[in-house]
Structure 1
């Protein structure tokens, strides 16, 4: 199955609207903070070095901007357009849903807009499909077995790591704070547009697990979901590793208590695993089966039936 031309154009337009929405908020934060470096460290979770101001965006926003831009290009040019639009829409829906109960009116309007755009992407990906018109029309391919299994293992380990950390915090924090980590209550300090940390962890676990299962099955949508999962995994790993390096945690890793050491190692694993997943799934997939050849020219018609009917 592939996408019709109107569906491709509609999906690209919806992705462009998502890119524009994220870009407006990022430019607003740049104007408030005055420095791209300060904004980058804010996204990385290192707010101690901020000179002034507070950003409304989180690390999720630049990642979604890049993902939406890539999905717009894929909608116009790639045979994986349907899965790219579906993956982008589904993840955007999941990450923007907590904005519906945000107290800030600007965040609420943005959440409603992006939820509508994301729902449109999912509908376009589902309703705009059509069968191939010709035997030689390119269709979504499957990943190679080795690359798919390796990416699936890395994503499965990442899902287990994120789930393990969330269980760790649930066992150490009071029940009220644990609930706030999923609902964005007053005890949680976060960027206004960013999802609550517990909610984000649940979305990441679901995405990593889904992408891992798709990779193990070598499904045709593995590339879209796997690349999206790899991008988020690498981004969060880079943010955690950069923060640990700036604060000197990596230099004295062996002397730190176990939770701090495990957190730094988890971030480093996320960075390396995310880059590896992107490299494994961005390459050429398994070769498609050759279509049935056309009959050679000049082939004689089949012989008449035997015995011949009367009057033949």
Structure 2
């Protein structure tokens, strides 16, 4: 990417970080302590009687991801894919805020959607021109690490899709629709996406990252690390909630849905950490550029006058 495009992408990411930080600080003031807010993000609604937080687990994850994308935009060969992945996922997760009844949430959604669209445009239009000095291309992941990460992400996508189909078969049709649109029957944080919508975004992200990993594409690292971060965060939240309520201690005595939910959260935590470890390492060594000129470029003219024996 060009230097102006890198600086623009880093500035847009910094604006996303600042927006999320303002809401998180506001929720800290409402709930009283970081531990209370963390348990709220994990799904514990005991604090609703004292105050309702506007953020969800998605917000701290997007804050960390946006900060990492800002650093990548300035220093990494993976800058374009990092900006594109951050922008695309932010667009998908913030879109339901456009029909939120709260004016503050609506303004935040419009701002973040504009910033995310800017990230995608910068990633697409900020490429270096063909006559620019040579810069190494982003490396591809190693084959073993890519295949292992792809398998874990594919299983995670199937698990999220399976749970959504399970709830669709058990809940009335109007509640199923509300899970995607954020209707009145769904209790959620104002900034958080509806649970069904979030599940659809996660399935699309995990499947895209898995396909990229199997193909060993150059953008695998950006999309895979983002998918791994969301997978690990949701797995950690579910596992912490299950441990706090004693579900893990009596796992064998619980009905099948509760046991499967706890095991899915534990798998998400372990798989997310594994994906982060597999894709954060050094990629495959890049092939050295050919010493010959590109195809179609004529060789330099012979010297004049020509030396003897030319």
TM over 0.5: yes
Task: Normalising by structure 2, report the TM-score.
Answer: 0.93
User: 1:136 offset after TM fit, Å?
Assistant: 5.5
Listed as ranges, the gaps of 5+ residues in structure 1 are none
1:51-100 deviation line (CA, Å, top 9, x unaligned): 72110000000000000000000000000000000000000000000000
Structure 2 match to 1:136: 134
The 1-side partners of 2:54 and 2:252 are apart by 35
Q: 1:309 to 1:193 in 2, by over 3 A?
A: closer
Change (3 A) 1:300 1:245: closer
Q: Indicate how the Cα distance of structure 1 residues 14 and 306 shifts in structure 2: closer, same or farther if over 3 A, else same.
A: closer
What is the CA–CA distance in structure 1 between the aligned matches of 2:301 and 2:13, rounded to whole Å?
58
CA displacement at 1:142 relative to structure 2: 0.5
Q: 1:271/1:132 Cα in 2 relative to 1: closer, same or farther (>3 Å)?
A: farther
1:266 aligned residue: 264
Give the distance between the partners of 2:141 and 2:82, measured in 1 at CA: 15
C-alpha separation in 1, matches of 2:7 and 2:297? 43
Task: Identify the match of residue 103 of structure 2 among 89, 93, 105.
Answer: 105
> Residue by residue, what CA displacement relative to the aligned partner does 1:243-282 show, whole Å, maximum 9, x if unpaired?
0000000000000000000000000000000000000000
Structure 1 pair 132–256 and aligned structure 2 pair: CA distance change class (3 A): farther
Shift of 1:130: 1.9
Pair 1:303–1:65, CA change in 2 (3 A): closer
TM-score, normalising length: structure 1: 0.93
Contact 1:141 1:287 in 2 (8 A): yes
Q: 1:254 to 1:289 in 2, by over 3 A?
A: same
1:16-37 deviations in whole A, cap 9, x for unaligned? 0000000000000000011111
Matched-pair contact (CA < 8 Å) for 1:14–1:121: yes
Q: Separation in 1 of the partners of 2:258 and 2:105?
A: 33
Q: Say whether the 8 Å CA contact 1:153–1:212 is kept in structure 2.
A: yes
The 8 Å contact of residues 132 and 139 in structure 1, kept in 2 or not, is answered as: no
Structure 2 residue runs without a partner (length 5+): none
Q: Give the conservation status (yes or no) of the 8 Å contact 2:31–2:52.
A: yes
The structural deviation recorded for 1:137 is 2.2
Counterpart residue number, 1:225: 223
Kindly indicate whether the alpha-carbon contact (under 8 Å) linking 2:31 and 2:47 is maintained by their aligned counterparts in 1. Answer: no
Deviation at 1:138, TM superposition (A): 2.0
The 1:302–1:52 alpha-carbon spacing in structure 2 relative to 1, beyond 3 Å, is closer
Write the mapping of 1:115-126 to structure 2, written as runs, cut at 5 A.
115-126=113-124
Per the alignment, do residues 301 and 130 of structure 1 end up closer, same or farther by CA in structure 2, a change over 3 Å counting?
Answer: closer
Residue 178 of structure 2 aligns to a residue in which SS? helix
- In structure 2, what is the equivalent of residue 279 of structure 1? 277
1:291 shift after superposition: 1.6
Distance 1:236 1:300, change over 3 A: closer
* Matched position secondary structure for 1:50: helix
Give the CA deviation at 1:195. Answer: 0.1
Distance 1:300 1:176 in 2: 68
Cα 1:185/1:133, change in 2 over 3 Å: same
